[in-house]
Structure 1
Amino acid sequence: MSYFAAYLEMLDPDKNQTLRPQHLQHLKECEENGKIFACGPFANGSGGLVIYIADSYEEAEQLANKDPYVIEKVRRLDLREWKMTQKVNI
């Protein structure tokens, strides 16, 4: 099991609002399947971040590429493996 950070850079704010329900449904399904560690938008509106849990880069890429934001080119995907060194409870 590895973590993969999907940086989703905003490209089309208007279309983003239209596809938001489908994007949230995608995230919900991934979460229900144990495939999301964390997710959320950036406060400045420039996009968002999803940290997927997957067995390989290819699996994470498949999950990220099923996001309606990525399919419809509303956001640009930049996917990278993320090495969590420590979980902190504050």
Structure 2
Amino acid sequence: MKYFAVFLPMLNYEKSQEYRPQHLDFLAKQRSAGKILANGKFVDGTGGLVIYMTKTFDEAEELVRQDPYIIHGARSFEIHEWAMVSDVFTQ
């Protein structure tokens, strides 16, 4: 399994507010499916971050493109494969 850090910069604040419930539901479903390690918003209001766990970059991108924030133009996205180092999690 690989980790992908996905930045979700704010494009449209009003759309982000409108589609937030659907976005959070989408994330909860992906977390339940074992596809998300962690997620959260930036406290300065500029967007958020999701850490996806998938086998490939393409799989991560496919999931990101299903996010209501992306579908409705509330946020853009940037994906980076992430080499996580942590004493908290085991692989």
Deviation at 1:87, TM superposition (A): 3.2
> CA 1:10 to 1:55, structure 2 compared with 1: closer, same or farther past 3 Å?
same
**TM-score calculated relative to the size of structure 1:** 0.94
Q: Secondary structure at the match of 1:75?
A: coil
Output the aligned Cα RMSD. Answer: 1.1
Number of paired residues?
89
Distance 1:14 1:39 in 2: 21
Q: Which string of whole-angstrom CA distances, capped at 9 and with x for unpartnered residues, describes residues 21-47 of structure 1?
A: 100011011001000011000000000
Q: Is 1:9 aligned with 2:32? A: no
Question: Aligned partners of 1:87, 1:59: CA distance in 2, in Å?
Answer: 27
The 1:73–1:87 alpha-carbon spacing in structure 2 relative to 1, beyond 3 Å, is farther
List alignment gaps of at least 5 residues for structure 1: none
- Taking structure 2 as the reference length, the TM-score comes to 0.93
Percent identity reads: 46
Q: Which structure has more strand as a fraction of its residues?
A: 1
Structure 1 runs of 4+ off > 4 angstroms? none
Q: Which amino acid aligns with 1:28?
A: A
